[in-house]
């Protein structure tokens, strides 16, 4: 005799039976427009310089950067976040290359705008760490501590020269108190109300930044724990979020992405502005290294991590795989 209604009555596996079924019911989808490509441009080099700790990533020349920007446009990527690497001899205690109109970052902004115009959002890292001889994100006082308010004065100048160079978006990343308000005011003072501010709202003092230090030829000795957030803290991020919004942030970001998906989800649930997340150098390098050893499936791991970041609430993702993944998504 046939028995009907046998256990189990609910069979969720019916919605996983085939690729087309799984695609139809997918709750989270990646799109090329989700991505922002971080890119490094180095002064005084004749050809791209590979970053040993980040396989596949280079310090660009001005010409190779323009090519990378054009490739990002063709792939449908939304933006490019530029980091300038000046010659060591030009670094000083106050990060002069960061406010020099002919500093490498400002030159690169102009180059990319000339190459792609408004087809790609040109975003600029607004921080002093790449341009100071001590490697910190701000000006130091007589005791070697980062002077918050003196640093804000430098950030204001940086915002103005980056806007003059053609940045669509500036990204204050130094985690100084009051940085968003100062940058917004500095931009408005020169009539650049059109330039958006991407706030590095929750930027943690992470061990995963290691490969990035090579990419920007950092001079840092010590750490940044007195201004970047403690990985143990979550509520602190919500306080930073409230302050950034009050000061005029147009977009907010969580960095790193993978180890802080809980923070990302809390931020995304709390705001009505776009939320970004930065899949940083260490996250990138771990996957590349494990894949090179044959321990994981590289392409699947990349897509899984990016999907997890978007599922947690990121509208946009800064990732070194931006163009590669966007190209694959376009091809289906």
Mean of the per-residue pLDDT values of the chain: 94
Alpha-carbon gap, residue 227 to 146, rounded angstroms: 8
Catalytic residue among 203, 225, 310, 331: 203
Determine whether 91 is an active site residue: no
Close Cβ partners of 294 (under 8 Å, ≥ 6 residues apart): none
Closest among 30, 121, 39 to 315, alpha carbons compared: 30
Catalytic residue among 66, 91, 255, 310: 255
Closest among 155, 124, 318, 320 to 227, alpha carbons compared: 155
pLDDT tens per residue, range 122-137: 999 999 998 998 878 8
Phi, psi values for residue 131, rounded to 5°: -115, -5
Closest among 44, 144, 137 to 95, alpha carbons compared: 137
Query: Would you say 141 and 84 are in contact if contact means Cβ atoms under 8 Å apart?
Result: no
What was the pLDDT predicted at 223?
Answer: 80
Q: Is the backbone peptide bond immediately before 8 cis, with ω within 30 degrees of 0?
A: yes
Query: Would you say 165 and 123 are in contact if contact means Cβ atoms under 8 Å apart?
Result: no
Banded model confidence at residue 1, pLDDT cuts 50, 70, 90: low
Query: Would you say 64 and 48 are in contact if contact means Cβ atoms under 8 Å apart?
Result: yes
Closest among 313, 36, 41 to 202, alpha carbons compared: 313
Q: Is the backbone peptide bond immediately before 203 cis, with ω within 30 degrees of 0?
A: no
Mean pLDDT, residues 260-279 taken together: 98
What was the pLDDT predicted at 139?
Answer: 92
What was the pLDDT predicted at 117?
Answer: 97
What was the pLDDT predicted at 176?
Answer: 93
pLDDT tens per residue, range 12-48: 999 999 999 999 999 999 999 999 999 999 999 999 9
Determine whether 66 is an active site residue: no
Close Cβ partners of 285 (under 8 Å, ≥ 6 residues apart): 53, 54, 55, 210, 211
pLDDT > 70 fraction of the chain, expressed in percent and rounded: 97
Query: Would you say 160 and 197 are in contact if contact means Cβ atoms under 8 Å apart?
Result: no
pTM for the structure as a whole: 0.94
Query: Would you say 109 and 166 are in contact if contact means Cβ atoms under 8 Å apart?
Result: yes
């Amino acid at each position: 005799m046939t028995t009907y209604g046998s256990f189990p009555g609910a069979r969720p596996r019916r919605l996983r039976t085939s690729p087309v079924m799984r695609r139809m019911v997918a709750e989270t989808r990646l799109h090329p427009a989700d991505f922002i490509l971080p890119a490094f441009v180095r002064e005084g080099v004749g050809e791209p310089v590979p970053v040993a700790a980040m396989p596949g990533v280079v310090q660009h020349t001005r010409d190779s950067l323009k090519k990378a920007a054009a490739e990002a446009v063709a792939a449908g990527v939304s933006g490019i976040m530029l980091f300038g690497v000046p010659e060591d001899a030009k670094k000083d205690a106050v990060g002069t290359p960061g406010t020099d109109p002919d500093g490498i970052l400002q030159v690169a902004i102009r180059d990319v705008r000339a190459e792609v115009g408004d087809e790609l959002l040109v975003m600029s890292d607004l921080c002093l760490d790449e341009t100071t001889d001590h490697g910190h994100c701000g000006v130091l006082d007589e005791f070697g501590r980062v002077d918050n308010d003196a640093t804000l004065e430098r950030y204001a100048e940086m915002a103005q020269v980056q806007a003059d160079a053609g940045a669509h978006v500036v990204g204050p990343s130094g985690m100084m108190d009051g940085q968003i308000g100062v940058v917004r005011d500095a931009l408005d003072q020169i009539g650049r109300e059109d330039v958006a501010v991407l706030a590095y709202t929750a930027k943690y003092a992470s061990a995963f930044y290691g490969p990035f230090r090579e990419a920007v030829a950092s001079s840092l000795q010590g750490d940044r724990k007195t201004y970047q957030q403690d990985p143990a803290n979550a509520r602190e991020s919500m306080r930073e979020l409230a302050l950034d919004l009050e000061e005029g942030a147009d977009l907010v970001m969580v960095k790193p992405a993978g180890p802080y998906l809980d923070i990302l989800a809390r931020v995304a649930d709390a705001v009505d502005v776009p939320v970004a997340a930065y899949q940083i150098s260490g996250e990138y390098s771990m996957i590349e290294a494990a894949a090179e050893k044959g321990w994981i499936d590289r392409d699947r791991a990349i897509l899984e991590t990016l999907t997890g970041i978007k599922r947690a609430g990121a509208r946009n993702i800064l990732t070194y795989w931006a163009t590669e993944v966007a190209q694959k998504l376009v091809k289906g």
